[in-house]
Structure 1
Amino acid sequence: MFNFTGAARRPRQVNLSGRKPATTGLAAVAAREERAAREAERKRLSAAKTIQRFWRGRNTFAKIRDVWTQEWDEATTARNKDTLEQMGRFLGFMGYGKKMEYVRWTEEDVTRLQNMVDLTQGWIENNPDQNKRSEFLRVRFAKLLLGAISKGVVTNGELMGSSLRVLSMLATQYPKIVNDDYYAAMSVATLWSDPNSSFFGELVDAVSKPLVLVTGPYLESIYNAFALRYLTTPNLISHLGDKGVCELLRAVDIYKFAVSNTSGLDADSTLWLLAHSIFISSHDSKFSNSNSDSSLSGGIRNYINFIGSLLGSVTTEVSHRIGIDDITMTDDDATSDSGSNSEAETKRSRIRKKGPLPAFIKSQIESLVQQPSISSLMSHIKSTDDNAKTVAGFALTLLLVFPARRTDMRFWLCVAKTSDGVPAVKYIWNSVKRCQLVNMIGREADTAIGVLKYPPTSQALKEFASLEDIQDQWNLVFLFLEMYSFVLVTGDDHEFLQGKGRQLPLDEVKDLSVFLKNLAFAMYWWYEEIIHDTNGTAEQSNSGRPWQLKYFRTVVTDVLKAIYTRDSRRHFLPKDHWLMEKYLSLDGFISAVVEEEEKRQNQSTNGEDSDPEPEEDPEFERIALLLHDPRDRRALNAAKCLKKRTESGLAYLITPRSEILQNLPFMIPFDKRVEIFREFVQKDQTKRRNGHPDPDQWRFTVLSSGPAESRERLSRQHAVVRRDRMFEDAFEAYFGLRDKLKEPIQITFVDKFGAEEAGIDGGGVTKEFLTGVCGKAFSPSADYSDDNNDVEAVAAGSSGYSAKDMFHENAERLLYPNPTILEEVKYHARSSGANVRAELSQILSRYEFAGRILGKCLYEGILVELLFAPFFLLKWSQPNSASAVGVNDLRDLDAEMYRHLMALMDFEGDVESTFNLDFTITTKVAPNKVETRELKPGGSKIPVTNNNRLEYVHLFSKYRLVQEPAPQTRAFLQGLTTIINPAWLKMFNQSELQTLVGGDTVNPVDVEDLRRYTIYGGVYQIGTDGEEHPTIKLFWEVMRELDDEQRGNVLRPQFSIRDAGDDQTRLCSASTCVNLLKLPRYATKKVLKEKLLYSVNSKAGFDLS
C-alpha cells in the first residue's frame, strides 16, 4: 500500500495475535538446515548410483569369469598346448588383466594356479624366445604370482617350490619384475620356511639369482629392493640357516646395496636392516680383506655412510631399547629445552612399550662398539687418504648413540692406527687443521656465529661449497675433540711437551687453543644470536645436524679447559694467551657480572617458588573459550606450559658474562676475578644479614628484634672452645648450623686450666679460631692409635680415628684427603663391635665440617697456612668432570708410583711376560692388611699387554685419584659449597684457588715493598722530617734477616705497627682483628729479634703479653 501522508517514517505495526514474529536469525538457521538436507539427499542419490554401477560391474564380471574359468578348465583337461592362450585366459578371469589387488582366491583358483605354474615352467624352458605379447603376459603372471605368495594364498610346499622356480626363471629374463613386491614376497616365503623345507633350495635361488645374474640398469633398483624389503625380514638369519646364509653371502655384493635410500622405512624395519647389514659385512670375506690395498675404496666408504645413516635414524630406539642406560645427548637450550618435552616423553614411553631389542639386533649393533670394529675402521685407510670426513661421520654417530660407551670408544679410537702406522688422532687432526672453518674462526671469533647457526647464514654459505661441506667439517672437529680430550687425560707431560706418540706438536697445540678459545667464546658470548634464525625462531632439538649445540659447546669447553690446566701447570703458552681483551672490555665488567648473577638468581628463585601450572594469560583464556574439542584444549594447555618453560629456560641468555666467568674464567685476569669473588661474597653477606654485612651492625640488628629471639639466635653463633679440643668443640658447636655458619660467629677461648682467655672478639679471635681449627682438621699427623694421650683423638668414635687422620700429605707436604680412612674405620669398627654405619657417618661429617670451616675462611677473606695438592684443588672447581684429573695428577699423589707407570708406558719389550700385571689394584683396608680389587669387570683375568697398557694406566690413576677418595672428597666439597657457591669456585684454577686459600706462597715476601706501605701509629708515626723511629729501623733490619716462613708468621696485611711501651722485657703482641703489631720500643736489634721470634713462634693466645 502506498503512503500518501508525506511522512517518511514507516507506521508502527501492532500484532494482536499474541505470537512472537520469527526473527531473522531463526529464518537463517532454517534456510541453512534446508540447504544441508538438500545436499545430503544429492549425496545419497549419487552414492546409490555408484553402488549400483559397482554392483553391475561385479555382477557382469562374475558371469564372464564363470564362462572363462569353464573354458580354461576344459582346455586344461584337453591338454591344450597353447600356453600363451591359456595364460591370457587365466590372467583374464583372475583379474581381468587389471587391478589384481581385488583378486579373491578360492580353492579351485589355487588348483588352477598350480596347473598354470606347471604349464609356465615348461613353456619358459622350451620357449626362451619371447615376443611382446609373451613378455607382457609373463610379467603380468609374475606379478600375480608374487601377490599370491605375499597374501598367503600359496600354502603348500609343492606349489611354493614350483612358484619360486618360475619366479627365479622370470626374474633373470625380465629384471623389471624384481622390485619391492618381488622381495616382499621372498620375505613372506622365507618367514614361512626353514632350512628343512622342501622348497628351500628354490627359495635361495629366487633370492640370490637376480643379485648375481642380472646386470645393467636394473641392478641398482634390484639391490635397493633387496635391502629395503628382504633384509628387513625379522630373524632372517635363523630362517635361512647356515646353508642359506652361505649362499646369500656368495651372492650379495654389500657395497651395491649400501647406496639404498632408507628414508621411508619404519624403526623396526630399519633395525633389522641395520643388524643384517652388519652381519653380512662381518662375514663377508671381501669386506674383511679389503684392507689389503690399504686404501678406503668407494664401496667401503658407501658402506660406512650407509651404516652410519641407519644408526643415526634409530638413535632413540636403540638408546631406549638396547638395555644400556645411555644419556641422551640432546640440546637443553632455548625452546628445545622446553618445546617438546611432553612429546619426547610420549615418544620414549611408546618406544619402551616395545620391549627390549631382539637379541640378534642387540648383538650386531653392540659389535660396532667393540675394539675390533673400531680398529678395522682405521685399518682400511692410509694417512695420506682424504677420507677423514667419512670416518668422522660414522665414529661420531657411534659416540652419540652409545654415550655410556664413550670412554671405551674414545680409547679404542686413540690407540687405533692407520694402515701405515699413523695414530688415528693425528690422522683426524691433519684433516681438521686444513678445514676452512677452523682457519676462519682461528682468525676472528665472531666469524663463528654464521657457521654455528643451523641452517648457516647466507653469508657463511658463500664461503663454503655447500651446507653438507660445513656439516662435514663440524663433524671432523667434533670427533677430533672427543679423541683429543682422552689423549690429554691419559698422556703424561713429558710426552705432551715433546709432541711424541699421539700428542700434537706444541706450535699446533697453540693454534688449536686459539681456535677453541675463539669458538668457545662465541658459543657463550653470542649464544642467543646463534640459536635463533633470521626470523627469531630458536633452533629445535631435532635440527638437521646429528649433534646438539649445547653438547658440542660442552665438549669444546672441556678440551679447552684441559689444555689450559696443562698450561697452568707447565706454562708452555705466552702469559696473556688466554685473555680475550679484544671482545671483553674490563671497564664496568665487575658491576655487569654482579648484575647478571642477581638476574640469574632471581630467575632461579622464581622458578623454584612458582607453581608448576602456568599463570593465567588473557590471550590463552580468550582462545580457550572458542575451543570445544578436548584435544584442542589439551593442545592449548601444552602451549601454555611451553611458554612457561621457555620463559624460565632462557635465563642463561641474559647472563653471557656469568657464563664466561663460570666456564671460561681464564679469559678474565685473575685480579679481576678475585674482585668479582669478593663482590659476590659482599652481596651475599648483605642479602643474608638484612643489609648489614658488618658483624657488629648485624648483631645490633638481631638484638633489636626482641630479647628472647635475639638471645637464642646469637647463642647459636657463640661457642666456648678449649684450645686442646679446638676441632671437636667447634664441630659440636657449629656443625648443626649448616649454611648459617656464614653469619658472624663469636668465640670464647678456654685455656688448659679451664680459665677463659681475656680477649674480646672484634674479629681477631674469630680469625684465630678459624685458622686454629683448620690447623687441627688438616694436620697430617700420625694415626691416633699411636697417640692415645691426644684428647682430640678420642672424640671421633670408637674406631679411634679423628681429625688428625683425615688428611695426608705427599712428599712435597701438599695435603689431600686420606684415601683409605673409610676402609680402616670399617675394619676397626668391626673389630671393636661398633656400629659401622655410625662410625662412617662420624668421619664423613667431620670431612663436611672441615669443608665448611675452610669455606668460612674464604667467605671472610681469612688466609690459612695450608697447601693442598693440585689434583684435590682441581676437584673444587670441576667436581663433576670425570676428566678433571688425569695420569699426570698421580705425580702429586705418589711420585714413585707415577714413575713406575711411566716406565711401563715407555717399556719397549713384552709387557705381559715382563711385568705379569693384570687389571687389578691393591688398597689398604687395615693398618697391616690390603685387599685386591678389579679395575674393570673381569680384570683379574685380563693381562696387561702392550696394546692395553694405556687403558691400564688410565684406570689405575682414575681409581687412585677419583674412585678411592670419592666419599671423603664428596663430603668435603659438600661442606665447602654450603658456604661458597660452587659457581664462584669455578672461576679459578687449582693454583689460583691455592692463592685464595693461603695467599701467594710462591713469591717471597718483598720486605721493601711492605715497608713502603706499612701504617705506623703512636710514637712510631713518621714526622715532618720523614725519618723512621729507631725501633722501626731495627725492626726492618730484623725482617730482612728472617726467612720467608718467619716473615709470613709476622705478617697479617694490611700491616700496621704501633708502640707498646718501653719495657724491654715485654714480648711483642698483636691485635689480629685490625692487623696491628704492638711493638715495644726495644733498644737493641738483638732483643727485638729475640722477642719477635719468640712471640710469633709461641702460637699463644691472648694472655701472651
Structure 2
Amino acid sequence: MRRRSSTSVSMDLSLAPVTSEETPFQSASPDGKPLEAQLPFLRFAERHRRLVNVLIQQNVQLLLEGPLTQLMRTPRLIDFDNKRAFFRSQVRSASDRYHGSLRIHVRREHIFEDSFHQLRSKTPEEMRGKLSVQFHSEEGIDAGGVTREWYQVMARETFNPNISLFVPTGGSTFQPNPNSIVQNDEARGTNHLDFFKFVGRVVGKALYDGQLIDAYFTRSFYKHMLGQPLTYQDIEGVDPEYFKNLTWLLEHDMTDVVDLNFVEEVDYFGRVEHVELKPGGRDIKVTNENKREYVDLVAEHRMTTAIRAQIQAFLKGFWEMVPRDLISMFNDHELELLISGLPEIDVDDLRANTDYHGYSPASPVIQYFWEVVREMDKEDLALLVQFVTGTSKVPLEGFKALQGIGGPQKFQIHKAYGSQQKLPAAHTCFNQLDLVEYESKEQLRDRLMLALHEGATGFGFG
C-alpha cells in the first residue's frame, strides 16, 4: 500500500460519510460566482501560491473580502499556518459576543464523571463561556494553568479503557468503541451516546478556546468530523492487519481460494453475531466480480455503520462548539494538528532510528533527504511524520518505540525505481518512505514537498 499523490488517477470508490450534507466549502463561492468564473484566479493562485500565502499571512482578513475569498473554494492552496490564523481570528470574533463564565468543581480521580454531570445541561452558548476549573481539595486560583491541566487530564480519561468509549487501533490512535453501550446507566438516566456528545463538546471547546489536547483519532474519524467521504483504504488506520487482508483479496484471484459471503462477524461481549452487509448478504458469495463491492461494504461497516450512533452523537456536540463551515477548510491531517498541536520532533532521534533498504546512510539521495528535513519548519516536519507513519504523534520513548503493523518498527527509507518525476510514496503499515534516486537536493525537496502538501490525502495501490 502506498499513499497516492494528487497527480495520480484515483481508483478509490468513496464510502458514504455519516452525514450526506454538503460541506460549505463545496458549495457556491463567497461572492456567488460560478466555479468557471473563478478558474483564471485559481490558476494564478496555484502558480503563485507562495506569494498569495505571504499576502494572507500579513492580513488573514483578506480571506473574507476581495479576490482572495475565492481561495475558500480551494482551501488546499492556503497554508496550514494561515488557515489556523484565520480560524483563530473568526473564533475570537465570535467569542467577543459571549462574556459569561463557566465554573466547575471536580475531583481529580473522578474528573470525567464530575465534568460530565456539571456540563451536560449547559447550552452551547453557556459552553462558550470562559472556563474556570477548581480541583477538589487543591489550592490555587485558575489563571489559565488549571484549565490547561483539566483539558489534558480529560483527554487521558476520555481514552481510559475503563470508560469503554474509545478503543485503540493499529497505531497510537483511537476510534469509538462499537460496544460502548456497556456505559448505559438507567438508574442515573445516562447512556453512552450522552457521553459521546459530551466528548464532542469538550474537543470542540478545546478548539474554541485555543487549547491543545493529547487526543489522536483515526484518519477515518477525522474525516467524519469534517464531513468528508471515506475510502476503504482508510481502514488501514483502524486495523492494519485487516487492511493487509483486504489488499490481498483485491490483488489475487479468489476462485476456489476464499469462501466468503456478504456478512461481517461482530464480537458483542464475547458473543459472535453476523451482520449482513447488504440485503440477502448471507446468500451472496464473494467472487472476483463483486469483491470490490465487498471490500467497500465491509470497510464502511467497520469505520461507519457499526459506530454510526456514536459518531453522530460526538458530531452533534462537536459542531455545537465549532462552526462546521469554518472547520471544513482543513483536511484530516491538518485537523489533527489543530486539535493536538505540532509535535516536538527531534530530527537527530529520527535519523538515528531510521533503517535503509537499497540505500546506505552515505548515499547522495539520503544525504539530500536529511539536509531537506533539517531545513523544514515544524509544520512540514509534522506532515512528514504523518505521511510516513499515519499520525503526527511521536512515542514518549522517541522514534525507537515507533510502532508498525507487527510491533516496534523503525522509520524506513526504501529505494524506489522509475522516473525522477515520481513523487515519494509511503507505506504507513511499515513506517516506510519510498524515494527514487533524485539527481539533486532541489529536485528531492520539490518532489517531497509536493507529496506532503498535495498527496497526503487519500491512498491507493501502486
Shared fold per TM-score greater than 0.5: yes
List runs of 5+ in structure 1 lacking aligned partners.
1-491, 505-519, 533-548, 554-575, 597-654, 690-697, 699-713, 751-755, 785-803, 1008-1042, 1048-1105
Tell me what 2:123 maps to. Answer: 738
CA distance in 2, matches of 1:865, 1:1005: 21
Higher relative helix content:
1
Query: Match of 1:933, as an amino acid?
Result: V
1:953 aligns with 2:295: yes
- Quote how far apart the aligned CAs of 1:761 are: 1.1
Tell me what 1:930 maps to. Answer: 272
Among 668, 684, 694, the residue aligned to 2:94: 684
- Quote how far apart the aligned CAs of 1:686 are: 0.8
CA 725–658 in structure 1, closer or farther in 2 if over 3 Å, else same: farther
Among 207, 224, 228, the residue aligned to 1:875: 224
1:984 aligns with 2:332: no
CA distance in 1, matches of 2:33, 2:7: 40
- Quote how far apart the aligned CAs of 1:530 are: 7.0
Tell me what 2:80 maps to. Answer: 670
Could you report, residue by residue, the CA deviation over 1:998-1052 in whole angstroms, capped at 9, with x for unpaired residues?
A: 2112623999xxxxxxxxxxxxxxxxxxxxxxxxxxxxxxxxxxx98489xxxxx
Contact 1:747–1:765 at 8 Å: present in 2 too? Answer: yes
- Quote how far apart the aligned CAs of 1:805 are: 0.6
List runs of 5+ in structure 2 lacking aligned partners.
13-24, 40-44, 350-393, 399-462
Contact 1:771–1:864 at 8 Å: present in 2 too? Answer: yes
1:855 aligns with 2:204: yes
Query: Match of 2:198, as an amino acid?
Result: F
Q: Secondary structure at the match of 2:142?
A: coil
Tell me what 1:63 maps to. Answer: none
Query: Match of 1:812, as an amino acid?
Result: G
Query: Match of 2:295, as an amino acid?
Result: V
Query: Match of 2:85, as an amino acid?
Result: E
Tell me what 2:237 maps to. Answer: 892
Could you report, residue by residue, the CA deviation over 1:528-567 in whole angstroms, capped at 9, with x for unpaired residues?
A: 27799xxxxxxxxxxxxxxxx9xxx9xxxxxxxxxxxxxx
CA 579–498 in structure 1, closer or farther in 2 if over 3 Å, else same: closer
CA distance in 2, matches of 1:1006, 1:765: 34
Matches within 5 A, 1:15-414: none
Query: Match of 2:95, as an amino acid?
Result: Q
Tell me what 1:723 maps to. Answer: 108
- Quote how far apart the aligned CAs of 1:811 are: 2.6
CA 586–494 in structure 1, closer or farther in 2 if over 3 Å, else same: closer
Tell me what 1:592 maps to. Answer: 62
Could you report, residue by residue, the CA deviation over 1:339-376 in whole angstroms, capped at 9, with x for unpaired residues?
A: xxxxxxxxxxxxxxxxxxxxxxxxxxxxxxxxxxxxxx
Query: Match of 2:132, as an amino acid?
Result: Q
Query: Match of 2:129, as an amino acid?
Result: E
Query: Match of 1:984, as an amino acid?
Result: L
Query: Match of 1:874, as an amino acid?
Result: K
CA distance in 2, matches of 1:969, 1:959: 13
Query: Match of 2:260, as an amino acid?
Result: L
Root-mean-square deviation (Å): 3.8
Q: Which of the two has higher C-alpha Rg? A: 1
CA 672–849 in structure 1, closer or farther in 2 if over 3 Å, else same: same
Tell me what 1:777 maps to. Answer: 158
1:818 aligns with 2:177: yes
- Quote how far apart the aligned CAs of 1:578 are: 9.0
CA 494–870 in structure 1, closer or farther in 2 if over 3 Å, else same: closer
- Quote how far apart the aligned CAs of 1:922 are: 1.3
Tell me what 2:444 maps to. Answer: none
Higher relative strand content:
2
Contact 2:203–2:318 at 8 Å: present in 1 too? Answer: yes
CA distance in 1, matches of 2:297, 2:234: 13
TM-score, normalised to structure 2's length? 0.64
Contact 1:1004–1:1044 at 8 Å: present in 2 too? Answer: no
CA distance in 2, matches of 1:742, 1:987: 22
Tell me what 1:845 maps to. Answer: 194
Contact 1:731–1:846 at 8 Å: present in 2 too? Answer: yes
CA distance in 2, matches of 1:909, 1:498: 31
- Quote how far apart the aligned CAs of 1:493 are: 4.0
CA distance in 1, matches of 2:71, 2:56: 13
Query: Match of 2:265, as an amino acid?
Result: T
Matches within 5 A, 1:594-613: 594=64
Among 159, 162, 167, the residue aligned to 1:808: 167
Contact 2:164–2:183 at 8 Å: present in 1 too? Answer: no
Contact 2:30–2:69 at 8 Å: present in 1 too? Answer: no
Among 896, 915, 918, the residue aligned to 2:261: 918
Query: Match of 1:904, as an amino acid?
Result: L
CA 530–806 in structure 1, closer or farther in 2 if over 3 Å, else same: closer
Query: Match of 1:734, as an amino acid?
Result: L
Q: Secondary structure at the match of 2:191?
A: helix
CA distance in 2, matches of 1:861, 1:530: 33
Could you report, residue by residue, the CA deviation over 1:906-965 in whole angstroms, capped at 9, with x for unpaired residues?
A: 11351xx32111111111222x11211111111111110111101111111111111111
Matches within 5 A, 1:533-682: 580=49, 585-586=55-56, 589-594=59-64, 660-661=71-72, 663-682=73-92
Tell me what 2:214 maps to. Answer: 865
Tell me what 1:64 maps to. Answer: none
Contact 1:810–1:892 at 8 Å: present in 2 too? Answer: yes
CA distance in 1, matches of 2:298, 2:275: 11
TM-score, normalised to structure 1's length? 0.28
Query: Match of 2:104, as an amino acid?
Result: A
Query: Match of 1:916, as an amino acid?
Result: D
CA distance in 2, matches of 1:657, 1:498: 24
Tell me what 1:905 maps to. Answer: 250
Q: Secondary structure at the match of 1:973?
A: helix
Tell me what 1:92 maps to. Answer: none
Contact 2:194–2:313 at 8 Å: present in 1 too? Answer: yes
CA 917–863 in structure 1, closer or farther in 2 if over 3 Å, else same: same
CA 936–842 in structure 1, closer or farther in 2 if over 3 Å, else same: same
Q: Secondary structure at the match of 2:194?
A: helix
CA 851–925 in structure 1, closer or farther in 2 if over 3 Å, else same: same
CA 977–494 in structure 1, closer or farther in 2 if over 3 Å, else same: closer
| Greater relative contact order (CA < 8 Å, ≥ 6 in sequence) | 2
Query: Match of 2:263, as an amino acid?
Result: T
- Quote how far apart the aligned CAs of 1:819 are: 2.4
Among 735, 741, 748, the residue aligned to 2:134: 748
Q: Secondary structure at the match of 1:972?
A: helix
Contact 2:262–2:277 at 8 Å: present in 1 too? Answer: yes
Could you report, residue by residue, the CA deviation over 1:82-122 in whole angstroms, capped at 9, with x for unpaired residues?
A: xxxxxxxxxxxxxxxxxxxxxxxxxxxxxxxxxxxxxxxxx
Tell me what 1:969 maps to. Answer: 311
- Quote how far apart the aligned CAs of 1:771 are: 1.8
CA distance in 1, matches of 2:27, 2:315: 31
CA distance in 1, matches of 2:318, 2:147: 18
